[in-house]
Amino acid sequence: MINIRKINITKNFFIKLFSFFFAVFLWFFVVNEEKTEINISVPIEITKLPQDYVVEGLPPSIMISLYGPRSIIQILTGQKMTKTLELEHIQKGPLTIQLTPESIAVPSGVKITKIQPSKLELSVSRFIKKEVPVKLYLTGTPHQDFKLVDTEILPPKITIYGAEETVEKVKSIETPPVDISNHADTFNRIVKLDFKDLGFTSEISNLFLKIKIEPEQGNLHLSRIPVVIDSDLEGVHCVPKYAEISLEGPKNLLKNTKSEDILLKISVKGLEKGQHYLKPIPYIPSGLYIKEIKPLEFQVVIPDENKSHEKGSKKDAKQR
């Protein structure tokens, strides 16, 4: 037994001796190495949180001060450190978590000298969802002589998720401002909802908007519109020679419409000689509508060709 022990002790003796002295050297190196202190940001991660609960007031990270050998500190700065909070058995209500140096794992030889904040004041609530309507926020006014007729939001309602105390207070969601200044026609737009700092979120963030803008309607009355007889015969005339017309339509078209833009024409083709009561055919600018023409009918006289010729001969004789 004695010989076996001697063999075990002396086996690889020089390797063991070198390892011992190397360890002692490293220990002295670490102990006597220049010390340094730095501040690093450590993200906070939550684990084991029940599905129907949400935590409010949690900062994204904490700031810790590390003191230790420069070489180890440099290694730590290149690694990702996190502070994990296990919240498996939490209950609804306020929650205070004290952060101590012992609660954050660091290598041997390194000390945590400061944690900011050292205490987390949190609030635990039930996680609920709720459907709320979306309201359109419009600014400005349409172009002159145009008006806002209708708006459409798709979807008109969205489902929001968050802490019960926050979500229950939400009655509606408002879109970002949509400026309709100087718009003179219908247009579509996609807007993005921003839930930042609201305490809740939604699976839907993009909304489709349709803003319907149309011209304002108005009326225009014009008088002394000449009535034109469409005929190659001499002496054909109508009574009265002028008409009045009332138009309706977009104000932007009406304001530029004049009497010379209107044509009232009566055709006598195929009609026999004598008196006829006829309605004129109106020609008006596109986009306008006729509200009324006065008179509605005109007395059109088609004279006898012989009589017209005799009158013309007598007139010529007198001139001679």
pLDDT band at residue 29 using 50, 70 and 90 as cut-offs: low
Please state the rounded mean pLDDT for residues 99-111. Answer: 87
- Its pTM surpasses 0.75: no
- A 10 A CB-CB count for 239 gives 11
Q: Where in the chain is the domain with CATH 2.170.120.30?
A: 30-117, 217-314
Predicted confidence at residue 1, as pLDDT, reads 45
Largest distance between two CA atoms of the chain = 171
Using 50, 70 and 90 to split pLDDT, how confident is the model at 186?
very high
**Segment 15-36 mean pLDDT:** 63
Phi, psi at residue 24, to the nearest 5°? -65, -40
Instruction: Evaluate whether the domain defined by 30-117 bears CATH number 1.10.3720.10.
Output: no
Residue with tokens 């290149």: 78
| Mean pLDDT to the nearest integer, 89-102 | 89
pLDDT of residue 276: 94
- Please say whether the beta carbons of 204 and 237 come within 8 A: no
Lowest mean pLDDT, pick from 101-115, 203-217, 242-256: 101-115
Two tokens, residue 82 = 């996190």
pLDDT-derived band at 306 (thresholds 50, 70, 90) equals: very low
> What strands lie across the sheet with 206-215, from one edge to the other?
146-154, 206-215, 187-192
Q: What is the pLDDT of residue 26?
A: 58
Q: How far apart are CA 116 and CA 49, in angstroms?
A: 24
Determine contact, residues 63/116, Cβ cutoff 8 Å: yes
Tell me the three-class secondary structure of the chain, residue by residue: CHHHHHHHHHCCHHHHHHHHHHHHHHHHHHHHCCEEEEEEEEEEEEECCCCCEEEECCCCEEEEEEEEEHHHHHHHHCCCCCEEEECCCCCCEEEEEECCHHHCCCCCCCEEEEEECCEEEEEEEEEEEEEEEEECCEECCCCCCEEEEEEEEECCEEEEEEEHHHHCCCCCEECCCEECCCCCCCEEEEEECCCCCCCEEECCCEEEEEEEEEECEEEEEEEEEEEEEECCCCCCEEECCEEEEEEEEEHHHHCCCCHHHCEEEEECCCCCCEEEEECCEEECCCCCEEEEEECCCEEEEECCHHHHHHHHHHHHHHHC
Using the structure block, give the residue that is written with the tokens 């309706």: 248
> What is the rounded CA–CA span in Å between residue 92 and residue 214?
54
Q: Which class for 73: exposed (0-12), middle (13-18), buried (19 or more C-beta within 10 A)?
A: buried
Task: Name the superfamily (CATH) of residues 127-215.
Answer: YbbR-like domain (2.170.120.40)
Share of the chain above pLDDT 70, in %: 85
* 158-164 mean pLDDT: 94
Q: Which CATH architecture best describes the domain 217-314? A: Beta Complex (2.170)
Give CATH 2.170.120.40 domain extents, the chain: 127-215
Those residues whose C-beta lies under 8 Å from the C-beta of residue 237, and which sit 6 or more positions away, are: 229, 300, 301
